[in-house]
Amino acid sequence: MRYIIIGAGAVGGVVGGRLAGSGHEVVLVARGAHFEALRDHGLRLRVPEGELTHRLPVVDGPAALGELRPDDVLVLAVKTQDSTAALQAWGPVPVTGGGTAAERLPLVCAQNGVESQRLALRLFRRVYGVCVWLPSTYVEPGVVSAAGSPLTGILHLGRHPHGTDETARLIAADLEKSHFEAPVVADVARWQYAKLLANLGNALEAVTGPVDSEEATALFQRVRAEGAAVLDAAGIAYADAAEQRAVRGDKVTLVPLDGAPRGGGSSWQSLTRGTGTIEADYLNGEIALLGRLHGVPTPLNDLLQRLANTFARERRAPGSMPVGELVRLADEETRAAH
């Protein structure tokens, strides 16, 4: 199979680089300065064993590839806010032998949240979800890093909305040869919703900085508890903390990397890069949506969603709001909601 990585940033670049490193055929899709750096200098992947350079085909869209192959796997790794444009661009692309990508090819959503695979299923017949446990960073154009050891990451994989098949097992086998653990599960959504609860802290980190103080940790626990109450009210199952710890163990331990400081998670990185957008609508906003559908107030996630979007729109520096100020706002919102 050939892997077409749509969005070769932190997650996509690391997955693509690791697959290429184990001998798999990979095409990277990127834009702007990142596309130019990948085209001119290759993908530079900083991992515990050193910096690896992979000279791979790179395109800025489907037109550069022409027809797709029947053995292509599309890996969607853009931020969720960019999913619709990517799906609309790649879905109609013809496949050799007849039909389109949306009709014939597997689409693997390797993203935070749960919305992209629902968007994908409107267009694509074969959609797969991934619970992405992969600490990775977009360092600069052409350079990504992943500090996990001995494994680079753990990627639970399954059909969306549920089930498994031979394609999932083949993709998982390729990933397992490429420094990942890739359990094939019929209930991948359970793992994705568990990850969603953890990702509710992304906006908190982006707005106030690392969640390592007692005050920030206590606030995150309130935000997560609000999210869990919403999932419970909606009847949505999710893997609990003990199950996650049992699966992950010490398989992905972060080690310091020269020249690749890990400044924060995906939302933090969006603010650092000044992209003008952020994924909060599909993380905290997912909880807000479910809360409104099921009659559960979500003042803390509403607040974080609003602040994260303001920071992105106004291109504010990540971590620039004192955590005490955020706690004060959170207390006000909570009182008003109740």
pLDDT digits 0-9 by tens, 92-115? 999 999 999 999 999 999 999 999
Q: Which pLDDT score is estimated for 264?
A: 82
pLDDT tens-place string over residues 308-318: 999 999 999 99
Kindly report the number of other CB atoms within 10 A of residue 275's CB atom: 14
Across the beta sheet with 180-181, the strand order is 58-59, 25-29, 2-6, 72-76, 106-109, 126-133, 153-159, 180-181
Work out whether strand 148-150 and strand 126-133 pair parallel, antiparallel, or are unpaired: unpaired
Is residue 131 within 8 A of residue 156, CB to CB? The reply is yes
* C-alpha to C-alpha distance for 324 and 185, rounded to whole angstroms: 41
Residue 72 has which token pair? 């292509």
Output the furthest CA–CA distance in the chain (Å, rounded): 61
Q: What is the DSSP letter of 317?
A: P
Residue 174 has which token pair? 């390729």
Q: How confident is the model at residue 170 (pLDDT cuts 50, 70, 90)?
A: very high
Residue 132 has which token pair? 């992405």
Distances (CA, A) of 45 to 56, 99, 134, 212, 257: 12, 35, 14, 28, 11
Q: How confident is the model at residue 338 (pLDDT cuts 50, 70, 90)?
A: confident
Q: Which pLDDT score is estimated for 260?
A: 64
Task: List the alpha helices (DSSP H) in the chain.
Answer: 10-21, 32-41, 83-90, 101-104, 115-121, 166-176, 188-199, 201-208, 214-234, 241-248, 266-273, 284-294, 299-313, 323-337
Task: List the alpha helices (DSSP H) in 235-298.
Answer: 241-248, 266-273, 284-294
Q: Which pLDDT score is estimated for 258?
A: 79
* C-alpha to C-alpha distance for 153 and 233, rounded to whole angstroms: 31
* C-alpha to C-alpha distance for 13 and 177, rounded to whole angstroms: 17
* C-alpha to C-alpha distance for 44 and 327, rounded to whole angstroms: 40
Output the average pLDDT for the chain. 95
Helix, strand, coil percentages (3-state) for the chain, rounded to 5, are 45, 20, 35
Q: Which pLDDT score is estimated for 129?
A: 97
pLDDT tens-place string over residues 286-331: 999 999 999 999 999 999 999 999 999 999 999 999 999 999 999 9
Is residue 223 within 8 A of residue 200, CB to CB? The reply is yes
User: pTM (2 decimals)?
Assistant: 0.94
With a cut of 80, say whether residue 148 has pLDDT above it. yes
Beta bridge partners of 254: 148
